[in-house]
Each structure stands twice: as structure tokens, then as C-alpha cells.
Structure 1
């Protein structure tokens, strides 16, 4: 008896496909972890100097004191969180506003995530663009999904050609982890209403790799109560970007 392998070498995943598969698996783990992205059940805004308030599902009352969130028997400092049973209580700041975020391992939004639908990997969507750094200290006003306008650090613009059309995308944040928030001709139909893309421009102005295969869904696609930034007008593309994550697959 002779062993037979009918697979041709071309049928095996390439290194590019394997790397993307690993990335997608890591994304799903991040989303569906016990207190991961999909587990958010509330963002409770607290007013400094106001009387302590009760929060549904939590014992005691809560207030802001010197920037910290203070409960009856615990304090959550800025940038920190505490584990309370199946829940994580997290300090969240937006400009001068402070909120108590509650993530619950038993959240229905977490239980309902069956996966993340994505376009098939395509190396044609790994593009080379040009990054032009903004002036040091430059900022941009960014509208968020709840209507709030937040001032963010402007990293610069990324110019790339998509479907024969040259577009310039606004990027925010540090050069080592810039964020591009964009919508395209698939948004709201084939894909979620907008998506994120992380880029690096360690060397400043110059060529930059733009891999749309790694475009991903914002947290607000998985659970309510997030305050995701919306795409600036300049980042609302008229061409389709059929690459990256598309939609949340629900049970």
C-alpha cells in the first residue's frame, strides 16, 4: 500500500496567509476574552464634585475624587482597573471627563460573538504609500460616535492609490502606532459602517506600508457604550476596500 498526497504545493497556505490567519485568531481572542472588547456592559460618566451615585448592578455608590473613582470600599486610580467577581471595573478618561467602565464575562454581547467575518487574504491590498508627518504638536478635532468632539494628536497624512484613485488619509496618534479611521464604498453594506487601521512610521516622512488586510472593526461594532472616533471627512472614501474584517458574526 502506498501513501498518497494529492495536495499540490500551491494548495498549502502561504506565509502571508498564515500570518493573517494568526492575526485574525489573536483578534478574536482579544474580542471574546472574559473581560475583552465584547464584554463591555456600561460606561458610566461621573461628574467631579457631584454627590455619589448608584450604578445599576454594582453595590454602593460611586464618585470622582481628585481624578480617582471612589466606591464605598475601593478606589480605582486613573489608568487602572479592579476585578470584582466576573466583572472588571475600569477607570476611563476622555479629556476632563471621567467614567467607570464595567466589563462583564457574562455579557450577552460577548456570548453572542460567533466570529468575525473577513475578506479573503489578498496581497494586492498590501500597498506602498507615502507618509507626510504633521508639525510637532499638531492636533485635530475628532468627532466621536456619541457626538462628542475630542482633540487628538495629528500624526500626519498617508497618501496611497486605491483602485486608480489617489487618496490622502488622516492618521492620528504616535508614529509608532498611528490610527487611521476610514469608511469606504463597502461601509454600512458589506462591511461595518467604518473601520480602523494601525500603521507605523518610525522613520517619519517617507514610504509606508499600508496593509488593508489588517483593517479591523472598532470596539463599538461588538458592544454598545464605546465612544469610537468617526472617520474624518477626508477618510470617507468613494472606492471600495474589500480587505480586512467585515462584520461581527453573531450566534
Structure 2
């Protein structure tokens, strides 16, 4: 919990002190906190469902980079190549040749094939409902929801057309659209987090002093800065308040399967404070954790 934020009540998830509470806007604090916890629990349920669905996050078994030369791919029939930016599969044993354009996907037996582009490179991604990585997910370990981790910061928009180079988990450096900077005070520390994407759906990739031990090596956070206090923020370049709920910090796809190419935290997003909120790690059976 951030030292500069008041401690939460004991009834974060409707436990102790559920018999009453101070009135805030006609609603008791116990009711408010219970609603907060219920909303978070619904989000967690949806997160686990997305990860463990037959073609969910944990089912990715390959990211195969392609060229114009036909090549066989492990676990797939025929050969695969590029024709412009289109993936072509040929000689598929009783199945017509296939063409997969950018943004497309198709089923091949029990497998789902998906087109993936990174800059000028194209890969064929393979999702398998029988993937060991999917079977290994028992749950998502997370900190209990804590309203003290819902912070108010200040969003400073970047100039239109700004970008930032981000290292991805495989060492590749990709240019991302820079939305702006989120200024916050966490545990007595002033931080300035780079946010990428559009203001209506920004992403913050961060690590903190729990990363790599108590939590996964880095985590994601979704924010939006196009709405502030119920009013449309428009295209104004002026700084504005922004809500940052670290309870919704979530694991990147690469925490669930090894074949994702997740962006790493920018240097200034590597926090020197502990963020004990949000998702921690993928919960795996004891046999899997021992590997």
C-alpha cells in the first residue's frame, strides 16, 4: 500500500465491519468497498476466461516468421510462404491452398492460424487448445483489491505524431505511438510513466521492486485520458487529471505462453517502489512450478 495513501478499511471484500460504515454520498463505505471488490472480481473472472479459452492467451504454441520462400513448419502440413504481406499455405493434404491476409485467421483442424505483423515482418501464429501452456494454467494469482491503489495523477499529452522506441522481449526495438506521460506520486516517490497508444486506450508497461520475484517481471496497465471527471477531454493538449487503478495491473501475454513478443518497460517505467496491487503471476500446478 502506498505510504502516502490512507489505509483501506478491513472490509475490502465484504469481510469484517460489514455491519456498517460511514455514509459517503448516501452510500455507506462498506457498500462502496463491496461494490469495488465485486467489480474487480468480475474483471478477474473475465481475465482468466480470456487466458484459458480454447484459443485464448495460453494456447499460443508458435510464432513462425515467414519469407517468400516456401518452408515447412513444425506441426503444420504443407509449406508456408509470403506473397506480399499475405500468408500462403500450399500442399495441405486434402485441403485447398489457403491465403491469410493481415488481421485474418482461419481454422485448420483443431488449430487456429493467425496472421501477425511486426513492422515489415510477417509471422504465422498457431494456437492449439491442447497446448501444454494452456493446461498448466490453474489460475491468476493477484493481490486483494485495495481502493488505496486507485490513484489520481496528471496526464501530460505528447505532441501529435510523437513516438517512442520500445525494446520487446526478444530484443527487437519497435516504434510505438506515444500518447503522453502520466505523473503520479507512489509511496512518496514521484514517477512519470510513459503511456503508448491512443488516449482512448493507452497502455503503460511497468515494473517495480516486486517484479521478477513476488510478481512477474513486468505488468501492463490500461488507461484512458480522453475522459476526465465525466467530461470529454477532447483533443486538448493541456495536462489533465487521470485515474490510475493499479488493482487492474495485469500480466502480459508472455506470462502465459513463450511465443508472444511483449514490449518491455521503458527505462523511466521501471519503478523503484513496490506496487502490491493487481495481478502477480500465473498460478500453475505444483509440478509445473517446480520445473
Distance 1:8 1:20 in 2: 18
3-state SS of 1:71 partner: strand
Q: Deviations over 1:90-135 (max 9, x none)?
A: 0000000000000000000001100000001000000000000000
1:199 equivalent among 213, 218, 223: 223
Alignment-derived partner of residue 32 in structure 1: 52
Distance 1:8 1:143 in 2: 47
Q: Deviations over 1:159-212 (max 9, x none)?
A: 011001110000000111100000001001100000000000012530000000
Alignment-derived partner of residue 46 in structure 1: 66
1:74 aligns with 2:93: no
3-state SS of 2:200 partner: helix
CA apart distance, 1:28? 0.2
Moved over 6 A (4+): none
Alignment of 1:1-251 (within 5 A): 8-9=18-19, 14-47=34-67, 49=68, 51-72=69-90, 73-202=97-226, 203=233, 205-251=239-285
Q: Could you state the TM-score of these two structures normalised by the residue count of structure 1?
A: 0.94
CA apart distance, 1:225? 1.0
Q: Could you state the TM-score of these two structures normalised by the residue count of structure 2?
A: 0.82
CA apart distance, 1:87? 1.1
Distance 1:149 1:138 in 2: 16
CA apart distance, 1:8? 4.5
Distance 1:171 1:52 in 2: 39
CA apart distance, 1:221? 0.5
Number of aligned residues: 244
Distance 1:118 1:238 in 2: 20
* Residues 1:8 and 1:208: Cα distance change in structure 2 (over 3 Å): closer
CA apart distance, 1:22? 0.2
Instruction: Quote the RMSD (CA, aligned, Å).
Output: 1.5
Alignment-derived partner of residue 230 in structure 2: none
CA apart distance, 1:9? 3.5
